Amino acid sequence: MTVSSIEAREVSVAGHQLRCQVCDFTRFFRREARLSTGASAFGQDWTNSKAECFVCEQCGYVHWFVRTPHVASSPEDTSLAVEIETLRRRLEAEYDSELEHTH
Ligand SMILES: [Zn+2]
């Protein structure tokens, strides 16, 4: 088993294939980041929120997806909340199926 192998892969967000906004590429490196720096721009609720980043393999453009319960519970952001929740479930399901696969 290689721990260090990071490979770009295709990503789906809320049922749509993610495409790079800049170069239209469809393979991304996944990163996780904590929104501690610059959180004041969004208010204290965003402190310690997690963000998922998908970095375009070709041009390096970073696509951000924020996961925070405060966004999900905001009534005026229903569609955004649904997208975030769908993404979260997808990632969890993907992770689970990977675990089952290795078993
Ligand atoms: Zn790109």
Tens-binned pLDDT, residue by residue, of the chain (103 aa)? 444 457 899 999 888 999 999 999 999 999 887 765 544 555 555 556 678 899 999 999 999 887 665 544 445 556 666 777 777 787 778 777 766 665 5
Structural domain harbouring 80? 12-97
The pLDDT score that the predictor gives to residue 4 is 47
68: in domain: yes
> C-alpha distances in angstroms, 43 versus 49, 64, 101?
11, 18, 41
Position 92 scores a pLDDT of 78
**59 neighbors 78 (Cβ within 8 angstroms):** no
Q: Is residue 89 part of a domain?
A: yes
Å from CA of 22 to ligand 1 middle: 5
d(CA 53, CA 42): 18
Q: Using the 8-state DSSP alphabet, how is residue 4 labeled?
A: S
- How many folded domains does the chain comprise? 1
For residue 58, being part of any structural domain is answered with yes
Q: Find the 39 Cα to ligand 1 centroid distance in Å.
A: 26
H or E element that contains 53: strand 50-56
